[in-house]
Amino acid sequence: MIKFFTLLLIQLLISIGFSQTLEQYPKDYFRSPLDIPLILSGNFGELRNNHFHSGLDIKTQGVEGLKVYAIADGFVSRVKISPIGYGKIIYITHPNGYTSAYAHLQQFKGELAKEIKRYQYANETFEMDYYPPDTLLKVKKGDIIALSGNSGSSGGPHLHFEIRETVSEYAVNPLLFGFDIKDDVKPVIKSIILFPLNDTSFVNDKKVSQEFTVTGTNGNYQLLTKLPINVYGQIGVGINTFDQQSGASNQNGVYEVMLFEDNNLICKTELSSFSFDHTRALNSMIDYELYHR
C-alpha cells in the first residue's frame, strides 16, 4: 500500500489552519498597492528558512521610492519600525473584514508621517510598535501612504504585501482577490522522491529515500528512470517543484498540489490561507534530511 506522506502532512496542516477556504473573496474591492506592473519575486505560502511566507514580494524595478497606495478605504491600525523583520510596515484595517500590510518601506507619507514623528519624539524612540486609535488616521482608496524601500531583513528593494482576515489574523493569499498579475507559465517539476516510511518498506529493494529526475516542460513531464519502480510497504511521495511568473525568472512556491492514484484524488493542498501559529509545522512539509545535506 502506497501512502502519500509528505503532502498528506501538508493537507492535515491546511485543513486545520485554513479559515473559510471556500469563501468567495471579493475580486474588485481592492486596487493595486503600486502603479507599476506587478511582478513577483516571492509567492504566498512559500517555505522559507523558518516560516511560511505570508504575502507577496512585489518587485519595485530594482529601486526604492515608488509610491505605495492604500488598496481600499480604512484606517491605519498599526505601524511598526524595526531594524529587522518587516522593517517599516503599515497595517490598514478595511471595513470589509480584511487588513492589508505593506512592509520594507523607505518612508511614510502624509498625515501618517507626521503622526509617526510625533510618536517617536514623545516616546524618545526610533523603533516603535504603535496602534493608533481607529479614528486618528483614516485613509481613502488610492491615498499615498508610503514610499517603497528595503528596510528590515530585506535582501533588496521590493514591497512585501499582505492581506489578513482582521478578526482571526489569518494570512490570506492576495492572489485570490483579483489583482492584475500576468501569469501563463506552468509550474516546473524537477523530480519525484519516494520515501520508505518504516523498517519494512522498500523502494527498488532499498530502505533509503530515492529521488527520480523528471524531464519535460510546459506541463508535460515523464520520469527519467526505468519503470516500473518497485515499492513495498508504506511509501511516502514527495515532489520537487516550483512556479514561475510571466516576465520573471524567480522560482516561486506553487499554489496547489494534488495526488491521484488511478484517477482517484487521494489528497490536495491549496495555499489559500494559514495561521501564524502554524509556523512550527514548516518542518513537516520538507524533506529534512535532504535539506540538512
Q: Where are the domains of the chain?
A: 6-15+183-292, 24-177
The H or E element containing residue 113 is: helix 110-123
Query: Model confidence at 226, in pLDDT bands (50, 70, 90)?
Result: confident
253 pLDDT more than 50? yes
* Short-list 226, 201, 271, 234, CA closest to 17: 271
Look at residue 247 in the predicted model and tell me its pLDDT. 85
Find the mean pLDDT for residues 280-286. Answer: 78
Q: What is the pLDDT of residues 103-113, one digit of tens each?
A: 999 999 999 99
CB 125 within 8 Å of CB 20: no
Q: Is the pLDDT of residue 237 over 60?
A: yes
What confidence category does residue 271 fall into, taking pLDDT thresholds of 50, 70 and 90?
Answer: confident
| pLDDT band at residue 293 using 50, 70 and 90 as cut-offs | confident
Asked if residues 291 and 19 have their Cβ atoms less than 8 Å apart, the reply is no
Tell me, what amino acid is at 178?
G
CA distance 148 to 60: 8
Q: Percentage of the chain with pLDDT > 70? A: 92
Cβ atoms of 132 and 79 closer than 8 Å: yes
Q: Give the mean pLDDT of the chain.
A: 88
**Mean pLDDT confidence for 256-279:** 89
Distance CA 19, CA 39 (A): 27
Average pLDDT over residues 279-287: 79
Mean pLDDT along residues 16-20: 39
Give the whole-angstrom CA distance, residue 163 versus residue 230.
45
Host H or E run for residue 257? strand 256-261
Ramachandran angles phi, psi of 262, nearest 5°? 55, 45
pLDDT tens, 134-167? 999 999 999 999 999 999 999 999 999 999 999 9
Of 247, 251, 279, 258, residue with least CA distance to 182: 247
The alpha carbons of the chain give a radius of gyration, in whole angstroms, of 22
Q: Are 110 and 96 in contact (CB under 8 A)?
A: no
- Check whether 84 has a pLDDT greater than 90: yes
Residue 124 scores a pLDDT above 70: yes
User: To which residue does cell 514580494 refer?
Assistant: 57
C-alpha span between 229 and 196 (Å, rounded): 13
* Number of C-beta neighbours around residue 250 at 10 A: 15
Cell 488598496 locates to: 71
The per-residue pLDDT for 158 is 97
pLDDT in tens, 182-219: 888 999 999 999 999 999 999 999 999 999 999 998 88
Q: What is the pLDDT of residue 23?
A: 60
Please report, for residues 111, 131, 176, 219, the alpha-carbon distance to residue 190 in angstroms, rounded to integers and kept in the order given: 50, 45, 27, 12
CATH number, span 24-177: 2.70.70.10
Q: Which amino acid is at 88?
A: K
List pLDDT tens digits, range 47-83: 888 888 999 999 999 999 999 999 999 999 999 999 9
- 19 pLDDT tier (thresholds 50, 70, 90): very low
CA 190 to CA 223: how far, in whole Å?
Answer: 10
> Based on the number of CB atoms within 10 Å of its own CB, is 49 exposed (0-12), middle (13-18) or buried (19 or more)?
exposed
